[in-house]
Structures are given as C-alpha cells and as structure tokens.
Structure 1
Amino acid sequence: MGPHAPPLRGSLPPEGAVSPWGGPTADRGPHAPPLRGSLPPEGAVSPWGGPTADRGPHAPPLRGSLPPEGAVSPWGCPTAKRGFWQRCRHQAGFTLIELLVALAVMSMLAILSWRSIDGMNRTQTLTQQRADELLRLQAALGQWHADLDAVVNTDELNPLQFDGKLLRMTRRDSGDNGLNSAGVRVVAWSRLGRADAPGAQWMRWQSAPVQRRNELAEAWQRAAEWAASGAADGRDSAVALAGIDQWQLFYHRGETWGNSLSSVGNESAGVLTVSEGSIPNGVRLVLTLTPGQGLSGILVRDWVRPTLQAGRT
C-alpha cells in the first residue's frame, strides 16, 4: 500500500494525512460520532448528551449480528450459525394432549358416520322390501282379474265353485281363439300355510292345459288335493302371492250382493250347481291382509263380467 493508496473502508487515516480531495483529514476528537456498526467505548457520552447504555449479557443482539454458539433462541430451540430457521421449523409439532384430543374428535366423527350409514342402509332395505310386497300384491290382483275374465263354461263342471276355503274355476288361455286352443286349464285360489313363510299365504294353483273330459276331472280333483295338503303335483304349478289372515267372496246376482255360500242373492244355497251353469254378474273379493306388510288392513276388489249388459228399466 503506497502513501497515496486509498484507505480501507471503515479504517481511520493516520494523523495529518491528506484526504483524496486535497484537504487535511479531520481529527476525530473524543466527541466525534462513532463509525456505523461500532460500539462506543465504556463510559462514552452519546451524541444526545447522555451516557451510553451498558449492554448486559441478556441484551438482544444487534441487527445483522450472529448469536454466540449454543445460545437459545426466544422460540425455545438452540441457535446455530447455519440453518437456524430450518431447524426451528422442523422441530415445531403438536403436544400429546393435542394429539389425544384430535384422536377423540375423529373417533366420535367415525362413530356418528357409521350410525348414519347403517340407518340409511336399513331404511333402504325396508323401503325396497315394502315396494316388492306392493308390486307382488298388485300382480296378484291383476292375475285374479285375468282369471275371472277368462272363465269359460265347459258344461262339465261349475265354472266357479267356492266352498269357503278353495275357489276352483275353468278358464282358457289368453292366446286361445275359436280356431286355435291348447285346451282348458283348472285354476284354484286358496289360503294356505307355508313352512318357509310366516303366517298363511294367498296362493294360486293351475293345471296344465287339458282337452279331454277325464283329464279335466282329474285336474279338478288335484286342485282339491292341493288345497288339503299344500303340495302341488309335478304336472301343476303353485305360487304364493301375499300374506292374508282371511278372505271372503260375494257374488252379485240379480240386484244384490250375497255371500257365495248363502242363499241371499243366489238362486240356491251352497256352491253353484252344474244345472245353474251361469257365471255371476260380479264377484267381490275381500282380503284381510296380514299386519306388518307394505299394505295392511282390509282390501276389497270388485270384478264385473265383461259380457254383462246394462239392465232395462
């Protein structure tokens, strides 16, 4: 460093040195302001007239300075020369009490969610079961009307015969006509108990198509045996339709409704005879449905003979 080299930044020029601008350097007296970033000597007076504060061991560090090795930060973690903020950030976490409270809250939410889902599943299952029962009952009543609409008089047996427990009828198939017919079927309706279902069921039985007199008589007899035993022959079929407690039939003849087993509204008491051979003008079905199903109570359905003509006045 020659005599005319510029001084180092932050250093004081020697006594009597000439500044780069051609004038003598100022003598920094005892009251000259300290250099930026330096500490005043012990007991020095500040530029504002008061003594400078003594920085004790617990005084906060100056801005821009590094804490000493091993010092503890105000946030509770040790300081370091490098990576101070990164380590403080990684060491922050939850306490044990906070974790236990969070686990308890999540457990309660899981229990409430499970109960809600279980209730929704039960409601959906019950709704589907009730809907299936209603559809099955609706299909049964539709089949009942279809059987009565297709009743045919064979002049061999009663077209409709009800003994209080079993209703038997002879009917043709829906696709039969005067030129093409597979035969006549015997259809029976009854209330029977089943081992695989609670309570008694309203059931329908039908035979295969028959074309001869002896076959018709045998099918008629098998219907009676089915009502007594509840077992269908291999040639026949039976199906349970709805749970009922009891059922009744009423015939409409003349001007009144009468019980099919009484003489009120009928020409004679008891079941119809072959000589009478006529189909009633209407049939009233009264079902007492078993409680606990999709539909319960008393159900009444009337059927009117399709070929019935209006009476003359």
Structure 2
Amino acid sequence: MGTSLSTRKVVAHPSERPLPPTSTDKTPAQSRGFTLIEVLVVISIMALMTLMAWRGIDTMSRTQGQLQSRANDTHTLQAGLAQWQADLDQLAQLPGTPSWNWDGQVLRLTRQSPTTLASRTGSQSSVMVVAWTWRRDPSQPNSGNWQRWQSPPLSQRQAWQSAWKLAQQWGQAAEANTQTGQVQIHPLSGWHLFVHLGGNWANPLSNDTVTPGNPSDASTPNTNVLQGTVPDGVRLVLQLPPGPIGSGTLIMDWIRPTLSGQHS
C-alpha cells in the first residue's frame, strides 16, 4: 500500500509577522545629511548670485543717473540758447536808444518786455535791459559760467539809462548791487561773438566792422565797440568744457527777422 503525502500551507500568526522597516532602520547612505563642505558650497553660490545681482542693480542705477544728468545738462543749455535767441528776436529799436552794445566782455541789449506797465494815461509797453557775459570761475580750472542779467520792465528813459549803466557794471564785476537779476546759464570754457555786416561774417571788435565808442562807456579805455546798429546776424560760439553732454564747440547763428534782400 503506497503512502501519499499532502502539502499543507502554514500561515504564520499575525503576531509573528515581521514589522515593516522604520526610519531608524534606513541604511547609512539613506540617513546621511549635508556635510559642512556642501553647506559652504551652497552659501558660496548664494553669495555669488547676490553679488552679481547687486552689481547689476548698481550698474543700472549709475546708468540711470548718468542719463538723467545728461538730460538735465542738455535741458539747461537748450533753455539758455532759446533765451539768447528770444532776446535777439525782441530787440527794441527806440529813437536815441542803442539796442545793441558789445565791448568784448559783456553784450548789452535793449529788448521789448512782455510786461505791460500801467500809467496815468493807461497801459503802455515797456522795455528791459538785458546783458550776457562769460565769467571765469576760480573754483573750476579753465572754465567759467555763461551768465545772463536783466532789469525790471522800464518805461522811462532815465530808468533805462540807469539800467544800461548797471548792466555794464555787472559785466565788469558781479557785486551785491548788480547781482539782482543774474541767472547762471551753463558752464563754459569760453565764448566768442561774430557779426554779419555788409554780407560777411567778421569779428565785431575788428576795425572793419566797428564804430569808435565812448571810452567811458567801454570796459577798457580806448576799446572799439560795436554799438547802436543791430547787425544782420550774430554768430555765437560756445566752448563747452568736459561734462555730461561732452566737450567741444557749439555754434549758433541768429539772423535778424526783419532782414531782407540778397546777402552772402
């Protein structure tokens, strides 16, 4: 009689089953944290990124500051040139009153005033005395300031004469009694004026283009001055010192609005 064997599956009791591994049972490779070298590398990378970002912001800030400074410098120069042209455009031709006088140091002009003054007989137009000069600045080597001066609106000849003399004094030396009405226009290394008379551009202080002036009315005795007659044109030559808008020579021509005829 043969013997048969039966296979029986043995199931372990729940209490005898192995428990799942816990976090404390991880291998050494799984439980290892950051080393000191890794932390230092991360900190170094973060510091480098911060430095690069700071340099980028600093460069942008510097560029913006330079652009703003250049814009401001350009604006002040443009405003000065516009004022220069406006003064020449509004020259007043009054009987017995010079509208133009250049003695090599200060240019004096009599121009129409935008202000209307009230009088006993009603409102009347007025004029102003305007002066332009370049004054050396001791604090700026090889440089100075382009300056403008103007009087209050005038309607009496005596008041005009006082303002005309005061403008000459201001051109010679800016003192407390003459600085009222003075405006700083723009830094310059120097300036020159040329006039257009007889169909040619010439130095207004040359013998070919001037009429003898009153020595007591000039900045230097026996100095020839161009006075009274308004030239057909004025050429302004400005020497710009190194600055936000750069350095070099700026030339601006003005032509008398009432000029007519053929001129070369």
Post-superposition offset of 1:196: 7.9
Q: Which is higher, the Rg of structure 1 or of structure 2?
A: 1
Between the aligned partners of 1:300 and 1:181, the Cα distance in structure 2 is 37
Partner of 1:43: none
Match of 1:297 among 248, 251, 257: 248
2:170–2:179 Cα contact (<8 Å) kept: no
Post-superposition offset of 1:193: 3.6
Post-superposition offset of 1:210: 1.5
Higher strand share: 2
Between the aligned partners of 1:226 and 1:289, the Cα distance in structure 2 is 23
Which residue identity is paired with 2:18?
Answer: S
| Fraction of identical pairs, as percent | 37
Match of 1:244 among 174, 177, 188: 188
SS in 2 for 1:283: strand
Q: Which runs of 5+ in 2 are unaligned?
A: 213-223
Post-superposition offset of 1:191: 0.7
Cα distance change on mapping 1:165 and 1:93 into 2, 3 Å: same
> Is 1:164 matched with 2:104?
yes
Between the aligned partners of 1:252 and 1:297, the Cα distance in structure 2 is 23
Equivalence map 1:1-313=2 (5 Å): 32-37=6-11, 65-66=18-19, 73-76=25-28, 93-174=33-114, 180-194=123-137, 199-231=143-175, 233=177, 236-264=180-208, 266=209, 268=211, 270-273=224-227, 277-311=228-262
Between the aligned partners of 1:197 and 1:209, the Cα distance in structure 2 is 34
Cα distance change on mapping 1:190 and 1:235 into 2, 3 Å: closer
Between the aligned partners of 2:261 and 2:229, the Cα distance in structure 1 is 17
Higher relative contact order (CA 8 A, sep 6+): 2
2:128–2:151 Cα contact (<8 Å) kept: yes
Post-superposition offset of 1:101: 1.3
Answer with 201-210 or 96-105: which moved more: 96-105
**Cα deviation code 1:120-149 (max 9, x no counterpart):** 111110110011101111111111000000
2:131–2:150 Cα contact (<8 Å) kept: yes
2:100–2:110 Cα contact (<8 Å) kept: yes
Partner of 1:17: none
Which residue identity is paired with 2:104?
Answer: G
**Cα deviation code 1:164-215 (max 9, x no counterpart):** 11111100124669x9544211100011245787731111110101222221
Post-superposition offset of 1:163: 1.3
Between the aligned partners of 2:83 and 2:240, the Cα distance in structure 1 is 17
Between the aligned partners of 1:267 and 1:109, the Cα distance in structure 2 is 70
1:151–1:169 Cα contact (<8 Å) kept: yes
Post-superposition offset of 1:150: 0.5
Partner of 1:25: none
Partner of 1:14: none
Partner of 1:84: none
Between the aligned partners of 1:145 and 1:120, the Cα distance in structure 2 is 37
1:202–1:242 Cα contact (<8 Å) kept: yes
1:207–1:235 Cα contact (<8 Å) kept: no
What is the count of residue pairs matched by the alignment?
Answer: 242
1:189–1:204 Cα contact (<8 Å) kept: yes
Higher helix share: 2
Post-superposition offset of 1:72: 5.8
